[in-house]
Amino acid sequence: MLPFARITIIGLGLIGSSVARAIKANMPTVRVTGYDSDTGVRERARPLGFCDDIAGHAGTAVIDADLVLLAVPVGAMGAVAAEFAADLPADAVVSDVGSCKQSVLSALSAALPGAVIIPAHPVAGTEKSGPEAGFATLFQGRWCILTPPADAPSAATEKLRIFWQRLGADVEIMDARHHDMVLAITSHLPHLIAYTIVGTADDLGEVTQSEVIKYSAGGFRDFTRIAASDPVMWRDVFLSNKEAVLEMLQRFSEDLTALQRAIRYDKGEDLEALFTRTRDIRRSIVEQGQDDDAPDFGRKH
């Protein structure tokens, strides 16, 4: 039994187009309607064929949907919901794929009073963006975290769970605040560090341009992949998950200062103890089969 028959996806970039492609691959009879505020994206998405139709307005896109999935930057969720609020069918479920959950829930609840809203976050992605970047297997063996508010109807949460499972994801249910704290350390802070280190190296690069490029084959190259992630998406993530990111950043800064002191005062045993602990963590992740190589990081199996 299919959980939804008429799905509207708003935002046809990496994640929106991946969801559409995964629906086509796993639930081919479901009708997929798409909408994106960027006319260029709508035109590029049409020949890619992952939507049955692409609407010219958010309102017309949702008119007979039973699931409306928002795949726009988290800072745009409230505005786009307000755009289609008057046309949303009363029995539709509204969900999203945003990287932080508390801010999205409050923006959607304010724009869509009385609607059934079940926020979701597929913990899967790449540094690429746009409709060409998506692929149907993106969610296979990845976590998708649902953060239903306390008063959400359990039948709607259950339908959304089945939906994500049909796309290949393993579903977990979590409180939105807890989600934002966990993702601040596992996803948001690593991105902030990558943006910082690449920016710092680039500043140095004005003096030693050739060295920065020439010797960037190892660890630095991995940071540049993460630092290539979409600027608008990540601007919104940091501004929306401010409290949790600042809390994790504070702890990180304290630990960094401790390392700085260990180096300054030749505390080799402290450095070695930390590096041994972190190597053990990596080894246990690999042993659990959660990682063989960087692109598969985060896959459950």
Ligand X SMILES: O=C(O)C(=O)C[C@]1(C(=O)O)C=C[C@@H](O)C=C1
Task: Give the distance, in angstroms, between the CA of residue 183 and the centroid of all CA atoms in the same chain.
Answer: 10
- Write down the least CB distance from residue 87 to ligand X, Å: 28
- Write down the least CB distance from residue 35 to ligand NAD, Å: 6
* Residue 148 interface partner, choices ligand NAD, ligand X, none, CB cut-off 5-8 Å depending on type: none
- Write down the least CB distance from residue 254 to ligand NAD, Å: 28
* Count of CA atoms in the C-beta half-sphere (13 A) of 180: 23
Q: What is the rounded distance in angstroms from the CA atom of residue 32 to the CA atom of residue 155?
A: 22
* Residue 176 interface partner, choices ligand NAD, ligand X, none, CB cut-off 5-8 Å depending on type: none
* Whether the Cβ atoms of residue 51 and residue 32 lie closer than 8 Å to each other: yes
Cβ distance to ligand NAD smaller for residue 157 or 187? 187
* Residue 130 interface partner, choices ligand NAD, ligand X, none, CB cut-off 5-8 Å depending on type: ligand NAD
- Write down the least CB distance from residue 97 to ligand X, Å: 8
Which chain residues interact with ligand NAD by CB under 6 A?
A: 10-16, 36-38, 41, 71-74, 76, 79-80, 97-99, 122, 125-126, 129-130, 230, 233, 237
Give which of 199, 215, 197 is closest to 256, Cα–Cα.
Answer: 197
- Write down the least CB distance from residue 27 to ligand X, Å: 23
* Residue 37 interface partner, choices ligand X, ligand NAD, none, CB cut-off 5-8 Å depending on type: ligand NAD
Q: How are strands ordered across the β-sheet holding 93-96? A: 53-54, 31-35, 6-10, 67-70, 93-96, 116-117
- Write down the least CB distance from residue 188 to ligand NAD, Å: 10
* Whether the Cβ atoms of residue 85 and residue 68 lie closer than 8 Å to each other: no
Cβ distance to ligand NAD smaller for residue 205 or 298? 298
Which chain residues interact with ligand X by CB under 6 A?
A: 99, 123-127, 187, 229, 298
Q: What is the rounded distance in angstroms from the CA atom of residue 70 to the CA atom of residue 80?
A: 8
Cβ distance to ligand NAD smaller for residue 225 or 267? 225
| Cα 185–Cα 101–Cα 86 angle in degrees, nearest 5 | 160
* Whether the Cβ atoms of residue 24 and residue 56 lie closer than 8 Å to each other: no
